[in-house]
């Protein structure tokens, strides 16, 4: 029998003990309560009334919460090492960020049905409709490798996409969608425990957060749960092309609010990046960041 090598997961984020004890242990299980229906109007976290900020304010703020990868001396970080639209510093492990080919490897209902090889993988996690499947298509520059829909609840299984025959992107069903079929809801709850906590080849979670709306409690709970369980996470803000939502709130404000709320609970700020699957914003930058996570893990 082949032994699974112990991999380096030094990108693990240390969460501080300041976490509110009332945080649910498994936030993903919550969306299926009726109070978390995606149409419920009261999702917003109260602390979202931040003053309007300019892009340069954001840049200054980013500077204070940089994500410094291994092999990089924080004292030697220069502006050109920071990926645009993110707090991520590119370190010596970055490279191989080009997607040459992608193959759909199949869908799994349970974690134990997932591919059993030793290739590193990134899981897409986030609310239904946040743009997980669209981001996969954007990263691999294919229109419909992963199926997308305006209606939440499109992705129902664990879908593995093999990139360059060497690593996986994993598309998952979203949380926060109350009307998913009963079977999918049941699987999702056990899936979170089984998959995220035990998947040895998981390099990290990409937690997708819709930047066109103010922070939502379910996403903050989710980020905190990931942190508490020491699973490496990158926050990927989606839909950054939507400059203003119907209430006039701006992407920039929403992102800053989310970061401020996250910052309270993390000793080291997680990496975050702005993206748009509609315009390709952040695509190459995210691929570079994923390459440094992967190469470090795989060394």
Ligand X SMILES: Nc1nc2c(ncn2[C@@H]2O[C@H](COP(=O)(O)OP(=O)(O)OP(=O)(O)O)[C@@H](O)[C@H]2O)c(=O)[nH]1
Task: Give the footprint of ligand X on this chain (CB under 6 A).
Answer: 126, 128-134, 148-150, 152-155, 173-174, 238-239, 241-242, 276-278
The residues, ordered by sequence, that sit 6+ positions from 18 with a Cβ below 8 Å of its Cβ are 264, 265
Residue 276's Cβ-count burial label (10 Å; 0-12, 13-18, 19+) is buried
Cβ burial 107-126 (10 Å sphere, 16+ → b, else e): ebeebeebbeeebbbbbbbb
160 binds Mg ion (CB under 5 A): no
Record the tokens describing residue 281, joined without a space.
């914003």
Query: Using CA atoms, how far apart are residues 155 and 153, in angstroms rounded to an integer?
Result: 6
User: Across the strands, what pairs with 274?
Assistant: 237
When CB distances are held under 5 to 8 angstroms depending on the partner's kind, the choice from ligand X, Mg ion, none that residue 241 binds is ligand X
Of 38, 43, 127, 154, the one binding Mg ion by CB under 5 A: 154
**68/136 with CB nearer Mg ion:** 136
| CB 186 within 8 Å of CB 280 | no
Q: Residue with the closest Cβ to ligand X? A: 174
When CB distances are held under 5 to 8 angstroms depending on the partner's kind, the choice from ligand X, Mg ion, none that residue 232 binds is none
- Compute the least distance from the CB of residue 63 to ligand X, in Å: 25
- Compute the least distance from the CB of residue 60 to Mg ion, in Å: 35
When CB distances are held under 5 to 8 angstroms depending on the partner's kind, the choice from ligand X, Mg ion, none that residue 238 binds is ligand X
Q: Which helix (H) or strand (E) holds 126?
A: strand 121-126
- Compute the least distance from the CB of residue 32 to ligand X, in Å: 13
When CB distances are held under 5 to 8 angstroms depending on the partner's kind, the choice from Mg ion, ligand X, none that residue 227 binds is none
155 binds Mg ion (CB under 5 A): yes
137 binds Mg ion (CB under 5 A): no
- Hey, how many other C-beta atoms are within 10 angstroms of the C-beta on 9? 16
Binding mask 107-136 for Mg ion (x = CB under 5 A): -------------------------xx---
Phi-psi region of 239 (alpha: psi -120 to 50; beta: other; left: phi over 0): left
When CB distances are held under 5 to 8 angstroms depending on the partner's kind, the choice from ligand X, Mg ion, none that residue 128 binds is ligand X
269 binds Mg ion (CB under 5 A): no
Residue ranges in contact with Mg ion by CB under 5 A: 132-133, 154-155
């Amino acid at each position: 029998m082949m032994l699974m090598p112990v991999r380096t997961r030094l990108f693990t984020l240390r969460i501080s003990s300041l976490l509110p004890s009332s945080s649910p242990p498994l936030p993903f299980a919550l969306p299926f309560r009726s109070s978390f229906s995606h149409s419920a109007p009261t999702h917003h976290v109260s602390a979202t009334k931040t003053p309007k900020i300019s892009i340069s304010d954001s840049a200054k703020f980013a500077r204070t919460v940089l994500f410094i990868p291994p092999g990089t001396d924080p004292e030697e970080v220069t502006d050109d090492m920071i990926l645009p639209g993110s707090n991520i510093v590119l370190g010596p492990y970055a490279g191989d960020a080009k997607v040459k080919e992608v193959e759909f490897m199949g869908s799994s209902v349970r974690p134990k049905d997932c591919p059993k090889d030793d290739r590193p993988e990134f899981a897409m996690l986030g609310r239904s409709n946040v743009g997980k499947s669209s981001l996969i298509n954007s990263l691999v520059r294919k229109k419909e490798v992963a199926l997308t829909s305006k209606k939440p609840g499109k992705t129902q299984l664990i879908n593995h996409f093999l990139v360059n025959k060497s690593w996986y992107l994993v598309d998952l069903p979203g949380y926060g969608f109350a009307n998913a079929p009963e079977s999918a809801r049941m699987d999702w709850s056990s899936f979170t425990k089984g998959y995220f906590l035990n998947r040895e080849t998981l390099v990290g979670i990409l937690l997708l957060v819709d930047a066109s709306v103010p922070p939502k409690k379910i996403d903050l709970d989710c980020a905190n749960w990931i942190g508490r369980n020491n699973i490496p996470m990158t926050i990927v803000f989606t839909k950054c092309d939507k400059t203003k939502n119907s209430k006039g709130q701006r992407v920039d404000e929403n992102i800053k609010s989310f970061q401020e709320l996250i910052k309270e609970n993390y000793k080291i700020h997680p990496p975050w990046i702005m993206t748009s699957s509609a315009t390709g914003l952040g695509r190459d930058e995210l691929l570079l960041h994923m390459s440094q996570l992967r190469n470090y893990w795989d060394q």
